[in-house]
């Protein structure tokens, strides 16, 4: 699959590395591409050639980053961002709408899916705990786009769990804040994750 990862920071670089290792063709859309790095392009150049565009910028950069992508109609748009307030004080949006619903409005022709927002990038680098994969919840409204993202989640080593339609991000984004606060404020450290079980 041709994947454009927008933002090559902690999350973008970690996911891009995992997908490259799984055989996907990954380019990074960055603001200042390094000419010596053949994987880096401008945001627009990376997005135009991709089937899947992965948004991995800070929340305040989302408007600019989506605009810089150009035409996204028909593409799968995976939103990894969390609409965090400064200082982990909470979420800018939540429960009655969500960050990804705003992202979807910024790119109305794209097939938006929320994923990769509920655990830290260190867990994305190695999602196996006690020999078993941990869960990655995702949500979206387009079944084909969700199937694509489900595969990409598996390709990173997670167990994918379909949480339902895109509006479920109203719960997944606060759920991310649970991980963040437990990891960063309440003493559990970043090596924590959640596993979905049922019978
Ligand atoms: N860190 C985590 O563990 C984690 C886990 C799940 C979700 N998230 C979410 O994922 C997102 C990224 O987090 P992160 O930790 O990877 O952040 P990060 O390490 O700060 O990386 C963000 C990247 O976005 C780039 N960027 C900023 N503005 C941009 C723009 N307008 N266009 C293109 N690229 C732009 C930055 O590049 P330059 O500034 O160099 O241009 C930087 O490389 C955030 O929304 C965060 O809430 C983070």
Q: In terms of Cα–Cα distance, which of 97, 18, 109 is closest to 56?
A: 18
pLDDT of residue 88: 87
Ligand 1 centroid to 89 CA: how many Å? 18
Q: Closest Cα to atom 6, ligand 1: which residue?
A: 117
pLDDT(6) > 90 = yes
In whole angstroms, what is the distance from residue 3 CA to residue 54 CA? 7
As a whole-number percent, the residues of the chain with pLDDT over 70 amount to: 100
14 lines ligand 1 (CB under 6 A): no
148 lines ligand 1 (CB under 6 A): no
pLDDT of residue 110: 98
pLDDT of residue 17: 98
Q: Closest Cα to atom 20, ligand 1: which residue?
A: 9
Q: In terms of Cα–Cα distance, which of 62, 37, 63, 41 is closest to 50?
A: 41
Map out the domains of the chain with their CATH numbers.
2-184 (3.40.50.720)
117 lines ligand 1 (CB under 6 A): yes
């Amino acid at each position: 699959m041709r994947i454009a990862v927008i933002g090559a920071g902690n999350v973008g670089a970690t996911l891009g590395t995992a997908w490259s290792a799984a055989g996907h063709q990954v380019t990074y859309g960055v603001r200042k591409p390094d000419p010596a790095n053949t994987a880096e392009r401008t945001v627009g150049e990376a997005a135009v050639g991709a089937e899947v565009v992965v948004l991995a910028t800070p929340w305040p950069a989302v408007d600019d980053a989506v605009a810089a992508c150009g035409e996204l109609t028909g593409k799968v748009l995976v939103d990894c961002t969390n609409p965090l307030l400064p200082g982990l004080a909470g979420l800018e949006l939540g429960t009655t709408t969500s960050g990804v619903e705003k992202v979807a409005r910024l790119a109305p022709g794209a097939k938006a899916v929320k994923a990769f927002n509920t655990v830290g990038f260190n867990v994305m680098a190695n999602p196996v705990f006690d020999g078993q994969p941990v869960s990655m919840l995702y949500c979206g409204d387009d079944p084909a786009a969700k199937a694509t993202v489900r595969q990409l989640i598996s390709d990173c080593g997670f167990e994918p769990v379909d949480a339902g339609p895109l509006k479920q991000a109203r719960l997944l984004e606060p759920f991310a804040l649970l991980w963040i606060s437990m990891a960063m404020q309440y003493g559990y450290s970043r090596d924590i994750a959640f596993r979905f079980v049922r019978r």
